[in-house]
């Protein structure tokens, strides 16, 4: 059985997407959380304010994914990159300015109705920012998760660290994220003797 390598964004595409969305705190946070934590779409949508923030508005450095939003009910801890902390602080202020509830049980991400944003809306938003960033090809939301896990693997070259980061039950699943990039392949092939 052949496995297809997951689609991942290049480093330039990641930067362009973050830059394009930077003026919109909610959408920028969605993209930043997806790229920085590898949260699945259902997990991201299911987050409550208390999962990400202490009652005083200070961001948590670790999110525990609750069983009711986790894949197959498997809980796990997600550690937040340092770069997310100022984005979360900005988002807290944004929620307050929009008069969205910051009660710990309130949804973290809301739509215009101040209710929990839908999965479909997140997918539409992520695609719209890709268009605005000038992408030549569009990625599905799940490609952000693939990109995040691949980034961790490339930075550490540690399959088991990447497995824990992705919260995969098996390292065999994580192996799909270890494929070389085009640049890595080009560098590896350049000096072959032929």
Which pLDDT tens digits describe the chain residue by residue (194 residues)? 444 555 889 999 999 999 999 999 999 999 999 999 999 999 999 999 999 999 999 999 999 999 898 888 788 899 999 999 999 999 999 999 999 999 999 999 999 899 999 999 999 999 999 999 999 999 999 999 999 999 999 888 888 888 888 888 888 888 877 766 677 777 777 877 77
Could you give the C-alpha distances from 177 to 3, 156, 159, in angstroms and in order?
A: 11, 13, 9
The partner residues of 116 in beta bridges, in order of sequence, read 110
Report d(CA 125, CA 42) in Å as an integer. Answer: 15
pLDDT at 186: 75
Strand partners of residue 76: 65
Report the distance separating Cα 112 and Cα 110, nearest Å: 7
Check if the beta carbon of residue 148 is closer than 8 Å to that of residue 78.
no
Predicted confidence at residue 66, as pLDDT, reads: 92
**Which fold is adopted by the domain 11-182?**
hpI Integrase; Chain A (1.10.443)
The SS3 assignment for 25 reads: helix
Residue whose C-alpha is closest to residue 142's, from 47, 43, 58: 43
Domain ranges of the chain: 11-182
């Amino acid at each position: 059985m052949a496995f297809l390598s997951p689609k991942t964004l290049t480093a330039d595409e990641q930067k362009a997407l973050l830059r394009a969305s930077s003026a919109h705190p909610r959408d920028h946070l969605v993209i930043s959380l997806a790229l920085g934590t590898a949260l699945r779409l259902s997990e991201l949508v299911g987050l409550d304010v208390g999962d990400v923030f202490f009652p005083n508005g200070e961001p948590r450095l670790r999110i525990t994914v609750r069983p009711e939003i986790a894949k197959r009910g498997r809980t796990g801890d997600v550690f937040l990159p340092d770069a997310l902390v100022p984005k979360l602080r900005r988002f807290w202020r944004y929620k307050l300015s929009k008069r969205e509830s910051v009660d710990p049980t309130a949804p973290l991400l809301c739509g215009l109705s101040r209710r929990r944003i839908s999965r479909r809306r997140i997918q539409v938003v992520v695609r719209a920012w890709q268009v605005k960033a000038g992408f030549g090809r569009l990625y599905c939301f799940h490609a952000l998760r693939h990109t995040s896990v691949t980034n961790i693997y490339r930075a550490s070259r540690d399959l088991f660290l990447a497995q824990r980061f992705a919260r995969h039950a098996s390292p065999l699943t994580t192996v799909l994220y270890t494929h070389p990039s085009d640049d890595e392949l080009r560098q590896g092939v350049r000096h072959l003797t032929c």
